[in-house]
Structure 1
Amino acid sequence: MNQALSPAPLRETTSAGDSEYSSFSHALPDGRVCCVQVLAGGSVALHVDGEAQALLTARFDSTHVSIDNLAADASSIARQPAEIFLPLLAEYFCRPAHVSTIEITLPVDRAWALEAVRKGIFDEIGETSGGCRLRCRRASFWQHPAMWLRAPSSAGFAQRYTLTNHHRHPVRPPKPRGVVYERQLPHLDLTFSLRTIDGERDLELFNRWMNLPNVASVWDQADDTITHARFLADQEADPHTQTLFGCFNGEPFAYFEVYWVKEDRLAPFCNAGDYDRGIHILVGNRRHQGPAKLEAWLRSLFHYVFLDDPRTQTIYGEPRIDNARWIDYMQEQGGVKQREFDFPHKRAALVSLARETYFEHFGPR
């Protein structure tokens, strides 16, 4: 039986009478900001720069949400870009309930609907009297980069090839700077973000983390700041590696290396594609430990890697074989332990996570 669904606020909200503004918003290319106002009785309003553009009602049936237009005159929707619906989709797909599909009936013509599908906002179009019915699947929504990426993706860089240590691979794009990914975690009341490492600003923290006993036993890089400054400079100069801090509400808690596998020392041990990537992980701030946070940031890290280049089909990890905890963590999030192998410095487990597995069965939720 269908029943009205009044979406619960997902994080911070601003009350206005019997309504609340969701914390999910999106800046359009022209600078205008679109957001969702949650009204009483299961209705929602879409706003662009504070002006209501649509009044909608939602019904929830098992894992499906059906959204219909309520306004008598909703012609303003057809004058807006399809991206105004991203915060609305987030309002449902980011809920604890496992919503698998959303269908929205809109008073738009087929040309508007086709453009919305080409942009990746929706998956399918069905024509109805007076408009179109558009469908979006959960796995498709999470693959749209607009809500999460804060830097241009690597996919825009023209493809050309080069050789590194006798390995043929694509030339890699210049590295981004600053915050590259950001996502709200409503169940934790936190915002997770990834930002690039600044060799001068972050040297002291990086040095302190590398000298922690639990980190040094795994990374084997305990040393002074001079050595670590050289290490970070080398990483910055290496086009195949991207160094990042993971942050909760802007506070760094982890260091990540994301690298292109094809030109990495891992390449001979796996069947990596041209755009597949690997990850190295270091958690330095123990205040942010715990299973709920771990699942949230690990899935978010995977999310960023897959969003940064849609040609990335597999993410690889190569933890030390006795690091059973991290091997288990990756397998719990959809990874598969393929085999064990020997690096010069360690015996490792090859763990892989497929793009399709991640988005269809896990995702960042």
Structure 2
Amino acid sequence: MTLTFPLPVSAGSKVFELWRELDRRFAESAADRLDLSPARLAEDGISLRELRCGYAADGAIVVERSGFYQSAGLWTNNPSATHMSAGLIAGPDGRDHPRRPAKPVGGFYERFDREAGASVGFEVLELEQHLSLFHRWQNDPRVAFFWEEDKSEAELAAYLTARIDNPSVIPVIASFDGDPAGYLEFYWGREDRLGAYYDAHPFDRGWHGLIGERRHLGRRKTAAWIRSLTHFLFLDCPMTEKIVGEPRADNVKLLRYTDPLAYRKIREFDFPHKRAALMHCDRGDFFATVRF
């Protein structure tokens, strides 16, 4: 999958190539900041506004690691939800929430993960294109043990249609180097069933996920897609300060990835259908500790 970026920040532009250089330099060093010469920006005709992630200090243009990975335009072509439509919507259990922005279309995130040695890509699930794949994954006993959705194609089509039609949920196909690997659901925590089990803030985001293709299992790739999806959810809305989750409390294989990726276990609680672990990931912790 190759993302198409909207003008004026198009792939191959001067600012895009500078972002790629900064991404490489951060990856090759332990530095938390890089200094650029103002002359370098002047030569390329790049303003501080176009750079997005730098500021002037002591005769240099300073780019901090945390700010770079929150604002550079390398990884997603989905416009950041900086403005929500006016008005509140009455949500479940009386929990009001902001009117949500339009969902992305097609491929909307791609990032080369150096630890996994592969590009992680996200695209919006299309029922006609992905239903048979989703059906096969859900009927794998390994997946069915946790998801409990080992059903017919017709039943799963109804499941996916409900999520496609829900403005607070994005059903996603995750890939490695363009090869479909698994399924994700991104949701707004306030509107989700989880919102009734903790102090849900209006812009909390959450996710469910599975790796359906066994060839894409393993520590490095699992860490890569969790790192990437968390990155996207923070990029997608600057008001989002927390990512939440509720995996099964006995899903030891998944929970072992949480600490290195800045997730922390708040407590365990009981859903009607499972014992769950309430997980939180704070924006500041994620960008301060996770290396890309």
What does residue 26 of structure 2 align with? 93
Query: Relative to 1, partners in 2 of residues 1:107 and 1:326: Cα closer, same or farther, differing over 3 Å?
Result: same
Find the partner of 1:105 among 37, 53, 76. Answer: 37
What code does the residue aligned with 1:190 have? A
Q: Does 1:161 align with 2:88?
A: yes
Find the partner of 2:252 among 324, 336, 340. Answer: 324
Query: Relative to 1, partners in 2 of residues 1:334 and 1:148: Cα closer, same or farther, differing over 3 Å?
Result: same
Larger radius of gyration: 1
Residue 28 of structure 1 contacts residue 83 of structure 1 at CA under 8 Å; is this kept in 2? Answer: no
Q: Secondary structure of 1:300's partner?
A: helix
Q: What TM-score do you get using the length of structure 1 for normalisation?
A: 0.73
Q: Secondary structure of 1:201's partner?
A: helix
Q: Secondary structure of 2:145's partner?
A: helix
What code does the residue aligned with 1:351 have? M
Find the partner of 2:161 among 233, 236, 247. Answer: 233
- Identity score, percent: 32
Find the partner of 1:120 among 39, 47, 52. Answer: 52
Post-superposition shift, 1:32? Answer: 6.8
User: What's the Cα RMSD here?
Assistant: 2.4
Q: Secondary structure of 1:86's partner?
A: helix
Post-superposition shift, 1:192? Answer: 1.1
What code does the residue aligned with 1:311 have? M
Q: Distance in 2 between matches of 1:352 and 1:305?
A: 13
What code does the residue aligned with 2:38 have? L
Moved over 6 A (4+): none
Which protein has the bigger strand share? 1
Query: Relative to 1, partners in 2 of residues 1:330 and 1:187: Cα closer, same or farther, differing over 3 Å?
Result: closer
What does residue 61 of structure 2 align with? 134
What code does the residue aligned with 2:52 have? G
Matches within 5 A, 1:167-316: 167-316=95-244
What does residue 8 of structure 2 align with? 29
Gaps of 5+ in 2: none
Residue 241 of structure 1 contacts residue 257 of structure 1 at CA under 8 Å; is this kept in 2? Answer: yes
Q: Distance in 1 between matches of 2:23 and 2:135?
A: 38
Residue 270 of structure 2 contacts residue 276 of structure 2 at CA under 8 Å; is this kept in 1? Answer: yes
Q: Distance in 2 between matches of 1:31 and 1:286?
A: 35
Query: Relative to 1, partners in 2 of residues 1:83 and 1:210: Cα closer, same or farther, differing over 3 Å?
Result: closer
Q: Distance in 1 between matches of 2:220 and 2:11?
A: 34
Q: Secondary structure of 2:22's partner?
A: helix
Residue 115 of structure 2 contacts residue 220 of structure 2 at CA under 8 Å; is this kept in 1? Answer: no
Post-superposition shift, 1:194? Answer: 0.4
Q: Distance in 2 between matches of 1:158 and 1:144?
A: 22
Query: Relative to 1, partners in 2 of residues 1:145 and 1:238: Cα closer, same or farther, differing over 3 Å?
Result: farther
Q: Secondary structure of 2:191's partner?
A: coil
Q: Name the count of aligned residue pairs.
A: 286
Post-superposition shift, 1:113? Answer: 11
Q: Secondary structure of 2:289's partner?
A: helix
Residue 113 of structure 1 contacts residue 134 of structure 1 at CA under 8 Å; is this kept in 2? Answer: no
Q: Distance in 2 between matches of 1:264 and 1:274?
A: 11
Post-superposition shift, 1:31? Answer: 4.6
Gaps of 5+ in 1: 1-25, 35-47, 49-81
Post-superposition shift, 1:147? Answer: 0.5
Q: Relative contact order: is structure 1 or structure 2 higher (C-alpha 8 Å, sep ≥ 6)?
A: 2
What code does the residue aligned with 1:105 have? S
Post-superposition shift, 1:346? Answer: 1.0
Q: Secondary structure of 1:301's partner?
A: helix
Which protein has the bigger helix share? 2
